[in-house]
Each structure stands twice: as C-alpha cells, then as structure tokens.
Copies of this chain bind each other. A is one copy, B any other.
Amino acid sequence: MECKAIEYHIILEQFKDLLKQNGMKYTLQREIILKTLFENSTHFTPESLHRFIRDSYPNLNIGVATIYRTLGLLEKSDIISSISFGIQGKKYEFEQTHHDHLICDECGDIVEFLDKDIEKKQLEIAKEFGYKIVSHMMQIHGICPKCQAKLNEKE
C-alpha cells in the first residue's frame, strides 16, 4: 500500500509535467481518471470506467466524451494501454511492466503473466522479418478452474 502510494505520486507528477510540456491543463477529471485506472487493477472499457467514476464521485458529473478523450491522451502518452479482448471489446489498464493475459471465455476473468522465454522469442521473430518492434501482446483464451468445475456440475 505504502509503496503504491509513493509510486502514484511519481506517476501523477510525471503526468502533470507531461501536460505542462504540451501546453495542456491539469484538471480534476484527468486526475480522477488516472487515479482510478491506477488504483484498480481491473481492465476497464470506456463505458465501465465512466460508470465506475460516476458512482465513485457522484458530484463530479463527468461526461463520456471526457473519458474517451482522456483515455486517448493517456494511451498516446504510454501511461495506460489498451487491448481488445474479443467479444468483451476494447479495455484499458494501467501500463505497468509488460505482461500478457490469460482470459476465461466463460466468466471473463483475466490472469496476468510474464514469460521470459516467450519475450525473448518475440524479439527474435521480429528481427527475422526485419521489423522494428513497438509492442507485443499475447492472449491465451480458455476456461478457468472455477468455470470448469461449474460446467462439470451441470452435466
């Protein structure tokens, strides 16, 4: 917790600097969106993030447009990243160290993981085709243990 709090201030300062450098303004809406993404390891869709913030800050009355605009800004600044999880649509998450996703197709549960061998292989493949790597992502879709149990019960 302590650790996270410190990190957050660093992130916030970086964000403020970035805004200042680009002649942009630091606003309560932008901070709340950043904070919400930082504090919740959930993967938000623009719509779910909007709902979550409306519920958490009933007095704020934040608009959808602001959500979309800020998500775009944060993503372009590499502070958050987005991935499309198939039928669940595009989701955003705070950009921590890179990791991949294991997704349950039944309940939508998401496990994050990182495998060094795979990371290394990816670099090799990009090199082989002469590509300059920008990012990479991997998703494994499956059924989580809980849902497997549930499905077995039904039979």
Contact = CB atoms under 8 A, between A and B. Distances in A.
Interface stretch (A23-31, A40-48, A139-147): A139-147
What's the number of copies of this chain in the assembled complex? 2
Contacts of A115: 121, 125
Nearest to A117: B121
A63 interface: no
Task: Please tell me the size bucket of the interface on A.
Answer: 20 to 34
A105 B118 contact: no
Given A102-B125, A117-B121, 20 more contacts: A84-B84, A84-B90, A102-B126, A102-B129, A113-B129, A117-B117, A118-B118, A118-B121, A122-B140, A125-B140, A126-B140, A129-B144, A130-B144, A130-B145, A131-B140, A131-B145, A135-B140, A136-B140, A137-B139, A138-B139
Given A84-B84, A126-B140, A132 B148 contact: yes
Interface of A: 82, 84, 86, 90, 102, 104-105, 111, 113, 115, 117-118, 121-122, 125-126, 129-145, 148
Contacts of A84: 84, 86, 90
